[in-house]
Chains A and B, each alone.
Chain A
Amino acid sequence: GNSVTQMEGPVTLSEEAFLTINCTYTATGYPSLFWYVQYPGEGLQLLLKATKADDKGSNKGFEATYRKETTSFHLEKGSVQVSDSAVYFCALFSGGYNKLIFGAGTRLAVHP
């Protein structure tokens, strides 16, 4: 079946450091891939998405590239801020299964 695997957290960084959160997936066909972010006490909200191989999603300085050959969708940001502290979820939607599947989430803590 479809699944998403994320690197375990927490990830702790100093402000302005480079961020990478790894995400790999298993899916049949050609899923769409997403990164969602959850700030403390809130629901999830979409951060970025990519719908086909080699697409790059970007938003708020975050980027992720859909790599079909490595079945990966790693999240990156060149310079993190304290306000980026949150839990980040990688997700996929496979049309054949009509389900939105999430990874376990990675908690990011950024310190001044």
Chain B
Amino acid sequence: NAGVTQTPKFRVLKTGQSMTLLCAQDMNHEYMYWYRQDPGMGLRLIHYSVGEGTTAKGEVPDGYNVSRLKKQNFLLGLESAAPSQTSVYFCASSYGYMNTEAFFGQGTRLTVV
């Protein structure tokens, strides 16, 4: 029973490099989210998806792109990494109804140097 799995768990990038973070869930959830967590700022929503083939911008979408080609996967891309994108990234999924909980992955710690 894997739940929500994020890969990789750690990554160091040089400024200007690109990378993709993968989130996979096995609970048949419709909704998926990408957050970043920074000290003193809590979790801020980057992008989210309410179903396969859909994506929408959250609070801090600039510098990121996402895709939801398959229901179980939600990819977060950084085209040209910047030091300001150093953060811990969390993926979450839920059924999307008002009273259901979101399940979180273990996080990806990204450092951009």
Contact = CB atoms under 8 A, between A and B. Distances in A.
Residues of A contacting B: mostly: strand
B74 interface: no
Contacts, number: 55
A65 B23 CA distance: 33
A31 B90 CA distance: 23
Given A42-B106, A51-B99, A98 B42 contact: no
A93 B31 CA distance: 12
Contacts of B44: 102
Interface of B: 4, 31, 33, 35, 40-45, 48, 50, 56, 58, 90, 92, 94, 96, 98-99, 101-102, 104-107
Interface of A: 6, 31-32, 34, 42-46, 49, 51, 89, 93, 95, 98-105
